[in-house]
Homo-oligomer: A and B are copies of this chain.
Amino acid sequence: MTVKNAFYAQSGGVTSVINASACGVLETARAHSDKIGKVYAGHNGIIGALREELIDTSLESDADIAALKHTPGGAFGSCRYKLKDIKTHKAEYERLIEVFKAHNIGYFFYNGGNDSSDTAYKVSQISEQLGYPITSIGIPKTVDNDLPITDCCPGFGSVAKYISTSIMEASLDIQSMCESSTKIFVMEVMGRHAGWIAAAAGLAQREEGGAPQIILFPETPFDKASFLRRVDEVVKRDGFCAIVVSEGAQYADGRFLSDAGVTDAFGHTQLGGVAPFIANMIKSELGYKYHWAVADYLQRSARHISSATDLDQAYAVGKAAVDLALAGKNAVMPVIVREQDSPYKWSVGEAPLAKIANVEKKMPKEFITEDGFGITEAARRYLQPLIQGESYPPYKNGVPDYVKLKNQLVAKKLAHSFNV
């Protein structure tokens, strides 16, 4: 019996450390070439499997694979593509199995968030139904930090470090200028459904009540009057006010502030513009001069300031995925287990995909202060370890020396194509 090949794919929004998970998968698989043959990577994620566009990772050098650890983005391409319901769209699943069969693939490693766990779970089910055995393992990844069971999600710690560092720096900037110039700085961060990323900004506070003095969470219904009152108090006390606002900040009735906000020159409502909306509100009502920033993709791709802890965990879950597969496990995901807050200790555990698929972990209520504008000690205890440590990429000519893989596709074996 020949050894089975493996298929690895990246799914959903990428992070600054998702390639470290890929590195963990590939290096571990290479170390077990007696049990795992080639690792094929999906060109643009699961779409690559459906289209039979498989990248032959065996053509990449060990050095280039190692360099994935310091390279952001998705090295093989990712996608936003959720496999549809298995009852109504069985053809999609059959196509997957057909491609896996054609290329002697016996292992499926799927690196993503909630939707991806669901897909990995379904693939494990369909493989039973169709009688072609596939070992299906999920690998956690999401800057949203919203997967259940795992203590945290690889990708989140690095965004948290970027956000806390950036707002600390910008706050020092505005503080220097506030006597005669800008008094308000608003920074918009990701997190459509939960305030995990916004909460990380609280780690920038150098003292009780320090900058950023106000954080607007999706979890706290936005009340204009109390918000403006607080802004004014802070400016009168500190001379300036640094504000971090989640893109998911919303009114009590669930309307996003960003939807109520800015229209463009063509009259369209503009998404993701909650920072300018808040800044203009303050200017209109209180008259303070403002600046605002929207970090957008910069925050989740900022490998230059990734958290070493996050990076280690991203690699570890990639490695553990292969270890679990080799140990005969199926339909599971390696998860991060927190053993101790301080000094921080963690290990890798496992959880059934069935319990992870489509479950969203909310931020606990006790992480937000009573006034709704800050984080509590409990939040700090949880968040602090996740941003620990620096792990800088190498630089060349003054910019990071990120690797570019060959990404050569293997020859197709199937006669017909599949429309995605």
A278 to chain B, nearest CB (A): 10
- Stretch with Cβ within 8 A of B (4 or more), from A27-35, A171-179, A229-237: A171-179
Instruction: Flag if B173 contacts A73 (CB, 8 Å).
Output: yes
Instruction: Flag if A164 contacts B398 (CB, 8 Å).
Output: yes
Instruction: Flag if B161 contacts A399 (CB, 8 Å).
Output: yes
Instruction: Flag if B280 contacts A276 (CB, 8 Å).
Output: no
Q: A residues 329-369 with Cβ under 8 Å of B?
A: none
> Given that A293-B296, A297-B174, A399-B161 are known contacts, is A16 also in contact with B169, CB under 8 Å in the complex?
yes
Judged by a CB distance under 8 angstroms, whether A265 is at the interface is yes
Q: Which residues of B contact A187 (CB under 8 A)?
A: 298
Instruction: Flag if B172 contacts A301 (CB, 8 Å).
Output: yes
Q: Which residues of B contact A272 (CB under 8 A)?
A: 276, 291-292
Please pick, from B176, B293, B397, the residue contacting A77 in the complex, using a CB distance under 8 A: B176
> Given that A266-B284, A297-B174 are known contacts, is A47 also in contact with B261, CB under 8 Å in the complex?
no
A73 to B10, CA, bound (A): 39
A203 to B268, CA, bound (A): 34
Please pick, from B161, B177, B179, B395, the residue contacting A13 in the complex, using a CB distance under 8 A: B177
Instruction: Flag if A276 contacts B270 (CB, 8 Å).
Output: yes
Q: Which residues of B contact A172 (CB under 8 A)?
A: 71-73, 301, 402
Instruction: Flag if A305 contacts B307 (CB, 8 Å).
Output: no
> Given that A280-B268, A297-B174, A301-B173 are known contacts, is A384 also in contact with B397, CB under 8 Å in the complex?
yes
Judged by a CB distance under 8 angstroms, whether A409 is at the interface is no
Judged by a CB distance under 8 angstroms, whether A81 is at the interface is yes
Chain A residues touching B, range: 35 or more
A162 to chain B, nearest CB (A): 9
> Given that A265-B261, A294-B294 are known contacts, is A398 also in contact with B161, CB under 8 Å in the complex?
yes
> Given that A262-B276, A292-B294, A301-B173 are known contacts, is A398 also in contact with B387, CB under 8 Å in the complex?
yes
A289 to chain B, nearest CB (A): 10
A241 to chain B, nearest CB (A): 14
> CB-defined interface of A172-191 with B at 8 Å, one 1/0 digit per residue?
11111101110001010000
A291 to B392, CA, bound (A): 26
> Given that A176-B73, A293-B297, A397-B203 are known contacts, is A270 also in contact with B262, CB under 8 Å in the complex?
yes
Instruction: Flag if A176 contacts B78 (CB, 8 Å).
Output: yes
Residue of B nearest to A46 (CB): B180
Instruction: Flag if B295 contacts A168 (CB, 8 Å).
Output: no
> Given that A179-B44, A180-B44 are known contacts, is A169 also in contact with B284, CB under 8 Å in the complex?
no
Judged by a CB distance under 8 angstroms, whether A80 is at the interface is yes
A158 to B262, CA, bound (A): 32
> CB-defined interface of A1-21 with B at 8 Å, one 1/0 digit per residue?
000000000100110100000
> Given that A284-B268, A293-B294, A398-B389 are known contacts, is A165 also in contact with B304, CB under 8 Å in the complex?
yes
Residue of B nearest to A273 (CB): B276
Residue of B nearest to A383 (CB): B398
Q: A residues 296-319 with Cβ under 8 Å of B?
A: 296-298, 300-305, 307
> CB-defined interface of A239-283 with B at 8 Å, one 1/0 digit per residue?
000000000000000000000111111101010110111001101
Give 7 A-B contacts (CB < 8 Å), ordered by A residue.
Answer: A13-B177, A44-B176, A79-B181, A169-B400, A172-B301, A262-B273, A268-B283
Besides the known contacts A80-B181, A273-B273, A293-B295, 11 further A-B residue pairs in the complex with CB atoms under 8 A apart: A10-B176, A44-B180, A73-B172, A170-B296, A203-B398, A261-B265, A262-B264, A270-B276, A272-B276, A293-B298, A388-B397
Binding site for B on A (CB under 8 A): 10, 13-14, 16, 44-45, 47, 71-75, 77-81, 161, 164-166, 168-170, 172-177, 179-181, 185, 187, 203-204, 206, 260-266, 268, 270, 272-273, 275-277, 280-281, 283-284, 291-298, 300-305, 307, 384, 386-390, 392, 395, 397-400, 402, 404
